[in-house]
Amino acid sequence: MNQKSAVPKDASAIILLNHAGDKVLWAQRNPQLAFLGGYHAFPGGKLEISDQLIKIKNCTDAEQLARFIACAVREAFEEVGVLLVRGGEKLTKGQRASLHDDLISNRMTFAEILEHWNLWINAADFFYTGFWTTPKFSTVRFKTRFFLAICPPKQEPYAAISEMQNVEFIRPDDALNEWKNSKVLIAPPVLLSLKTLAENLTADKRGFTQIKYDSKNKDQRLRTVTKNLLENSQAADGQIRYMELNPRVVCFPLKTETLPPATHTNCFIVGRKKFIVIDAASTDDAEQNALHTLVDSFIEKGFACRAVITTHLHRDHFGGEMILQKHLQGKFGLEIPIVAHRLTAESLANKVEFQKFIEEGEVFDLKDENGAGFQLQTLHTPGHARGLLAFYDAEFGFLFSGDNVVSSGSIVIAPPEGNMKDYLNSLERMKNLPNLRFLCGSHGAAVSDAKGKIESYIAHRLEREGQVLEAFKNGAKTPREIVQRVYTDISSALYELAEKSVAAHLEKLYEEEIIHEVTRRNHEEFKKS
Ligand SMILES: [Zn+2]
């Protein structure tokens, strides 16, 4: 089931500084959005064909950059209502709002609006700071060009469309503190940019200098920050290998043979001076080497690896842990235990050598000597697999949900390893964790609204259960018949897996005595299948 990764779509984003030049504009993407919903990001979006028609003056690299600047300017206007054009100062706030309405209701294209109102884009107002590409693990990918620009005087950005909320200018340091304090998730390139901005925008002890809208080549700080942003992007060739969800949480997606549309399994490195590795799953050499390089850098800083954990028995969750263990032993002389739930260890007895079993309630104390950091509580959450483990830190609100809940791909509940009743109990339990904020599943991006995500999983399963029961009552006798009636929204390639989930629903309904002995024969057959 080797999936091809999605081809990145061209996109632009704008790093908009306030007029004083000490704050940057960010906003929270609507949590409902499929791509990085709930994350904080800069305004930006996909290149449109009509962006080529937008006229730009003074573009030294017209072929390459003009349409991307045009896209960034259009997106900034669409999303936060800021019009980064020349001639715009003569427009009132009301007129800008009316133009915005023309644009988003498709009455006029952005090119037509500019032409009609005699407005124009001056390429010299934009500072190219490089591009970043969404990593391959994502099913939606962008190659996004970033431009630094200054907000024109007398324009106040606002949430101009429902995709963006909490639009604000913020000091980069303050933005990073919100991230450190587990208040927000930040889109990876935005986080990288904020770190560079924090070093450059707040370091000036003289306070801010007034930056003019057309100050290209005039303000040294602008030139420095642009140069540094661009160098960072170029040094990484625009590639992002892993994501920091918090200073103490690294998500390192590893290529595995998993269920489509997912192509990767998330390996999490949690903690700092003391850390654990969850699901070093890839059997691929290049993937392992990449992970080893990062883990090595932690060890070289003097951090201590406490354990390598396997969340459960499925093949996309183990395979690299013994190689990592051997690597750390060979290179640093370390003896790192591989741990899992006893049920997982029993199932993988011939494949992985475990040094320790962990159970419900086991705590991984990863706090630093000053008492700061994660204290991970082990949750035994059967349902998807009998020995499935999840981990939770109540202070930061991070739930590592394993395969219980993911943001990419579907969860199969296949009896006898899978049990629907247990699964729903596990979901219910995770949903009610105190101070729950962020959900880090084994596949796809972290989720900013953990509780909402788990609730939607529960609702979806119960809806399916109702449909399965209905189909069963109406005479669908085999799992395949039920799947054909109920799972009309999936491709036939997934029927076999869906049939297992149907068997799991029937098993639950039978145990709850909602369906009765007349169906027992069917139930036994389902169980065997
Ligand atoms: Zn699994």
Q: Where are the alpha helices (DSSP H) in 301-409?
A: 321-332, 342-347
Q: Where are the beta strands (DSSP E) in 256-371?
A: 264-271, 274-278, 304-309, 338-340, 356-357, 363-365
pLDDT at 409 (0 to 100): 73
Question: Which residues are within 8 A (CB) of 171 and not within 5 positions of it... i.e. 6 or more apart?
Answer: 22, 23, 201, 202
The predicted model gives 221-244 an average pLDDT of 92
Rounded to the nearest angstrom, the distance between the alpha carbon of 350 and the centre of ligand 1 is: 18
CA of 433 to the centre of ligand 1 (A): 22
Closest CA to 314 of 407, 384, 401: 384
Give the three-class secondary structure for 196. helix
pLDDT at 287 over 60: yes
Mean model confidence pLDDT for the chain: 91
Query: What is the pTM assigned to this prediction?
Result: 0.91
CA of 384 to the centre of ligand 1 (A): 7
Length of the chain: 529
Q: What is the mean pLDDT of residues 461-475?
A: 93
- Give the pLDDT of residue 525: 55
Ligand 1 center to residue 402 CA distance, Å?
8
Ligand 1 center from residue 403 Cα (angstroms): 5
If you measure from the C-alpha of residue 385 to the centroid of ligand 1, how many angstroms do you get, rounded to a whole number? 7
* pLDDT reading at 119 higher than 60: yes
| Ligand 1 center to 313 CA (angstroms) | 7
* CA 527 to centroid of ligand 1, rounded, Å: 19
165 alpha-carbon distance from chain centroid: 18
pLDDT of residue 207: 47
Band the pLDDT of 206: cuts 50, 70, 90: very low
Residues 6+ apart with CB under 8 A from 285: none
Mean pLDDT, residues 280-295 taken together: 95
Residue 123 has pLDDT above 60, yes or no: yes
Compute, in angstroms, the gap from residue 292 CA to the centroid of ligand 1. Answer: 23
Judged against a pLDDT cut of 90, whether residue 261 lies above it is answered with no
Averaged over 235-260, what is the pLDDT?
92
HEC string for 475-524 = CCCCHHHHHHHHCCCCCHHHHHHHHHHHHHHHHHHHHCCCCCHHHHHHHH
Selection from 138, 103, 132, 134 nearest residue 117 by Cα: 103
- Measured at the alpha carbon of residue 501, what is the angle toward residues 496 and 505, in degrees to the nearest 5? 145
- The whole-angstrom separation of Cα 219 and Cα 208 is 11
CA of 312 to the centre of ligand 1 (A): 7
Q: Ligand 1: distance of its center to the CA of 131 in Å?
A: 35
Tell me if residue 37 falls in helix, strand or coil. coil
User: What is the CA(487)–ligand 1 centre distance, in A?
Assistant: 21
Cα 314 to ligand 1 centroid, rounded to whole Å = 5
Provide φ and ψ at 230, rounded to 5°. -65, -40
- State pLDDT tens for residues 66-104: 999 999 999 999 999 999 999 988 899 999 999 999 999
Question: Within a 10 A sphere around the Cβ of 312, how many other Cβ atoms?
Answer: 28
Own/partner contacts of 521-527, CB < 8 Å, gap of 24 or more, are: 522/477, 522/478, 526/415, 526/479, 526/502, 527/415, 527/416, 527/503
Tens of pLDDT, residue by residue over 434-452, are 999 999 999 999 999 999 9
CA–centroid distance, 418 to ligand 1, in Å, is 10
Q: Separation of 69 CA from ligand 1 center, angstroms?
A: 43
Does position 170 have pLDDT exceeding 50, yes or no? yes
Q: 528 or 305: which carries more pLDDT confidence?
A: 305
Q: pLDDT of 384-422, one tens digit each?
A: 999 999 999 999 999 999 999 998 777 889 999 999 999
Cα–ligand 1 centroid distance for 263 (angstroms): 13
Which position has the higher pLDDT, 192 or 65? 192
Q: Tell me the mean pLDDT in the region 326-353.
A: 97
How many angstroms separate the alpha carbon of residue 82 from the centre of ligand 1?
46
The answer to whether 384 and 406 are in contact (CB under 8 A) is no
Rounded to 10 deg, the angle between the 495-511 and 479-486 helix axes is: 110
**Ion ligand 1: residue ranges with CB closer than 5 A:** 314, 403
CA distance 230 to 205: 24
138, pLDDT greater than 70: yes
Rg (CA), the chain: 26
Measure 497 CA to ligand 1 centroid, in angstroms: 12
Cα of 79 from ligand 1 centre, angstroms? 38
